Amino acid sequence: MNSYFSPGDWIVILLYVFGIIGLGVWFGKDQRNTRDYFLGSKNVPWWGIGLSIVAAETSALTIIGVPAMAYGGNIAFLQMIIGYVIARILLAIVLVPHYFKGEIYSPYQLFANTFGPSARQTAGGFFLISETLAAGVRVYVASIPVKLILGDKLLGFGTGDPILGAILLFVLLSLLYTYIGGVKAVIWTDAVQFGLFLLGGIFALWYIPTLVDGGMSAVFSKAIAAGKLHWLNATPPPGVSVTKFLLGAPFNIWMGVIGGTVLVLSSHGAEQLIVQRVLACKNVAEGRKALALSAVVIFPLFFIFLLVGAMLWVFYQGHPFKIPLPETRPGSGITANDFIFPIFMMTEVPHLLKGFLIVAILSAAMSSVSSALTSLASVSTMDFVKHVIPGRSEAFFLRFSKVSTIVWAVALIFTAYLSRQVAFVLNAAFALRGLTSGALVGGLALAIFWKHGRSIPVITGMVVSLVTMTAIQLLPKLDWTKDLWMKTIGTEVFWPWYTLIGATITLLTAWLVRTLLPEPKR
């Protein structure tokens, strides 16, 4: 057991674990067919779905990593959240009505309506691969600080490897209620888990200034003086070219408003992880309200955790670390600063409250895992298997859906553990969502606005986009291409631009192929 925890902290953690599993089983106990399992019978209220949307996109890495950004830099990530809000408004107005023209189970059904089954399965395959790798990596990276929090002895019991123990903890606990209750269980547990990590952030925001001489006003004064509350980058600093300012790190307002908007148009409009929740709404009006609620909530949520990071920087200017910052492996996707918030929780927060803060991290981790499991099972069942072997009973497909949920849980465990061993897989998986997101949102735009057509142009556009984005990600990191890349582009392209670049390539390639290969006469 971790010596920093009291029996009361462990009671809080165990009550959370058993409570969230019981809640998921209760809400999902009546599953009779795939409509119940993947759409929640379309009777979940919009506000629960809206909170679930935010919880699904907020992983444990977010709760840990967002404060680390502000601790090591400033709160400029807020510029990205502006785009996140704009995208939700655009999706609510433009895209949601297309989701309720008939009963659909994923956005990839829109591909089939326009281009046929091959385009649908291409898009679904892109999602299955990218989400498996991205979700597996999220589990692995979250396991590193949780290993520090819960201790090697507890997590290593039965496995001999505390990292594997943490991975199994996240995935198996999430699997229990996802397997039984489907998306309805996931939505309601997400809504509760959202409340837990929001309260954890608000508590930290109030508590940290009580530990600093001068209180809240002194904390903000020191943070402002150190530039920790700087958030707007609108023009290039002296000596930095316009190209490097716009395309490279750090975040800037154009990256947030343009790149962030297109990024979320994909993640919330073309990727099943979030779209599945909108599809569970009763009608267009409720789908729009769910997205609007998530738009209202997302900005203050990230603002709170960025402020927590700035406050932690002020606190540790006058207080020593009671646990040394651990060394991190280069290329592992996690930095020493990612341990700041967990260390603060373990060493500075009173007992019982400490248990609640640990629960906040666990809830974010379990939320992202359960969301990945139900979305992967939905696409593999409804976009692939149900069309390969039609005519089987609903009972058969419900059984297959539950079995596929287990299979995807095993895949996440394997991917997470593989990420521990192979740095290249880890790095590639972090970027892969950006590599495929442009192809997905570009293909979805074509499916909506072209109305009809052959599948060859859209499939070609998506594949060319994936290949090009892979080159953009990898070439600057290869020794033999670094000089050529820097002379040509002038900087490495920062990830917020990936989706826009990929979508543009998809659209242009598809248009060119369609022009060169005109439609056959009807």
Per-residue pLDDT of the chain (522 residues; tens, 9 = 90+): 456 778 888 898 889 888 888 888 887 777 888 999 999 989 899 999 999 999 988 877 778 888 989 999 999 999 999 999 999 999 999 999 999 988 899 999 999 999 999 999 999 999 998 899 888 888 887 787 777 777 766 666 666 678 888 888 889 999 999 998 899 999 999 998 899 889 989 999 999 999 999 999 999 999 999 999 999 999 999 988 888 899 888 899 999 999 999 999 999 999 999 999 999 999 999 999 999 999 999 999 999 999 999 999 999 999 998 888 776 665 555 677 888 898 898 889 888 888 888 888 888 888 889 999 999 999 999 999 988 887 888 889 999 999 999 999 999 999 888 876 554 444 444 566 778 999 999 999 999 998 788 899 999 999 999 999 888 877 776 666 767 666 667 677 888 899 999 999 999 999 999 999 876 665
Task: State how far the Cα of 335 lies from the Cα of 410, in Å rounded to an integer.
Answer: 27
φ, ψ at 387 (rounded to 5°): -100, -15
Cβ atoms within 10 A of the Cβ of 350, count?
11
CA pseudo-torsion sign 144, 150, 153, 157:
negative
**Residue 497: which of 267, 230, 261 has the closest Cα?**
261
Q: What pLDDT, on a 0 to 100 scale, did the predictor assign at position 426?
A: 42
Q: Are 83 and 257 in contact (CB under 8 A)?
A: yes
Tokens of 206: 């109030």
Residues 6+ apart with CB under 8 A from 394: 32, 33, 34
- Distance (Å, whole) CA 188 – CA 202: 21
Q: What is the pTM of this model?
A: 0.92
Which pLDDT value is given to residue 202? 94
- CB atoms near residue 391 (< 10 Å): 6
| 3-state SS assignment for residue 226 | coil
From residue 485, alpha-carbon distances to 74, 473, 489 in Å are 29, 11, 6
d(CA 135, CA 139): 6
How far is residue 59's CA from residue 367's CA, in Å, rounded to a whole number?
7
Cα(418)–Cα(423) distance, rounded to whole angstroms?
9
Helix and strand element counts for the chain (H, E): 24, 0
Strand positions, DSSP E, 173-287 = none
* φ, ψ (nearest 5 deg) of residue 22: -60, -40
Torsion of CA 161, 167, 170, 172, to 10 degrees: -90
Q: What percentage of the chain's residues is helix, strand, coil (to nearest 5)? A: 80, 0, 20
